[in-house]
């Protein structure tokens, strides 16, 4: 078990499986087949089995997978057995929306700090978190054991903010700024680029005209 290199797309699917499993578990379903899991998450049964097989053998032939056990296993694999402390850097439109976004806490992510370069924002209480000046970042990351930084600054400030967060101890960055971030190796990075996605949609719509089909 425990294979070497698991692809990004596999990890994403694992997350989706977990989401579905939590739901099934809450409804007291005991067992689920790869087929059903696949249908609910938009993939194929074979893909589900391959994905899981990278980490072990969790199912029973002829029966399926035990919902509760598999849920726990996936939580362990994904590193979700404990809660994670998160900081938001940049409290503009996006940043403050994230501070009020309830689903993070529900899924084990606690936003415990918020920082902004604008002194006018210092002290603001947003969703129970008080906005602090950037200079409080190092102390905050250390004291609160923050391991994930969410970059929600304007693009110009994003690189500096990310670098600073990493130096202060962040081991992962979720970036909402529409730029490429350079981070030291060993730091995990995911970028959510909204205009990029919108442009992707435009391509699909435009390319579909005259053509037959459009993406999945």
In the complex, least distance from residue 210 CB atom to DNA, rounded to whole angstroms: 21
Q: Which is nearer to a copy of itself, 157 or 192 (CB)?
A: 192
Q: Which of 21, 52, 114, 126 is close enough to bind DNA by CB under 7 A?
A: 52
Residue 91 in contact with residue 111, Cβ under 8 Å? no
Among 34, 96, 153, 175, binds DNA (CB under 7 A): 34
Tokens of 172: 């992962």
Q: Which is nearer to a copy of itself, 27 or 103 (CB)?
A: 103
Residue pair 40/96 in contact (Cβ under 8 Å)? The answer is: no
Determine, following the binding rule CB under 7 A, whether residue 58 of this chain makes contact with DNA: yes
Distances from the Cα of 30 to the Cα of 18, 27, 41, angstroms:
14, 9, 18
- Give contact residues for a copy of itself (rule: CB under 8 A): 6, 8, 11-12, 14-16, 18-19, 40-42, 77-80, 84, 86, 93-94, 96-98, 100-101, 103-104, 107, 109, 147-148, 171-174, 178, 180, 185-190, 192, 194-208, 213-216
Check residue 10 for interaction with DNA (CB under 7 A): yes
CB-CB contact of 123 with 131 (8 Å): yes
Q: Select the span of 4-12, 100-108, 176-184, 200-208 touching DNA (CB under 7 A).
A: 4-12
Alpha-carbon distance 102 to 109, whole Å? 10
60: contact with DNA by CB under 7 A: yes
71, with CB counted inside 10 A (0-12, 13-18, 19+), is buried
How far is C-alpha 48 from the chain's CA centre? 20
43 contacts 12 by C-beta, under 8 angstroms: no
Q: Considering beta carbons, is residue 46 or 188 the nearer one to a copy of itself? A: 188
Tell me the site size for DNA, rule CB under 7 A.
26
Please report how the helices 45-53 and 34-41 are oriented relative to each other, as an axis angle in degrees rounded to 10: 110
Least Cα distance to 30 among 81, 75, 64 occurs for 64
**Minimum CB distance to DNA, residue 144 (Å):** 34
Cβ at position 25, least distance to DNA in Å: 16
User: Could you tell me the smallest distance in angstroms from the CB atom of residue 130 to DNA?
Assistant: 42
Interface with DNA (CB under 7 A)? 5, 7-10, 33-35, 43-47, 49-50, 52-53, 57-65
């Amino acid at each position: 078990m425990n294979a070497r290199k698991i692809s990004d797309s596999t990890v994403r699917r694992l997350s989706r499986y977990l989401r579905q499993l939590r739901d099934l578990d809450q409804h007291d379903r005991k067992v689920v087949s790869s087929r059903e899991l696949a249908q609910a998450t938009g993939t194929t049964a074979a893909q589900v089995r391959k994905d899981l097989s990278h980490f072990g053998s969790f199912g029973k032939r002829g029966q399926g997978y035990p919902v509760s056990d598999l849920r726990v296993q996936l939580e362990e694999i994904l590193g979700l057995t404990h809660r994670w402390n998160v900081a938001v850097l940049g409290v503009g439109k996006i940043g403050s929306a994230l501070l009020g976004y309830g689903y993070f806490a529900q899924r084990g992510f606690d936003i415990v700090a918020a920082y902004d370069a604008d002194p006018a924002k210092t002290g603001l209480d947003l969703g129970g978190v008080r906005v602090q000046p950037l200079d409080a970042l190092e102390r905050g990351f250390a004291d609160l054991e923050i391991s994930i930084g969410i970059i929600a600054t304007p693009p110009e400030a994003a690189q500096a903010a990310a670098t600073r967060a990493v130096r202060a101890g962040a081991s992962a960055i979720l970036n909402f700024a529409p730029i490429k971030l350079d981070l030291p190796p060993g730091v995990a990075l995911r970028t959510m680029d909204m205009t990029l996605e919108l442009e992707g949609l435009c391509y699909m719509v435009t390319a579909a005209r005259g053509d037959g089909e459009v993406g999945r």
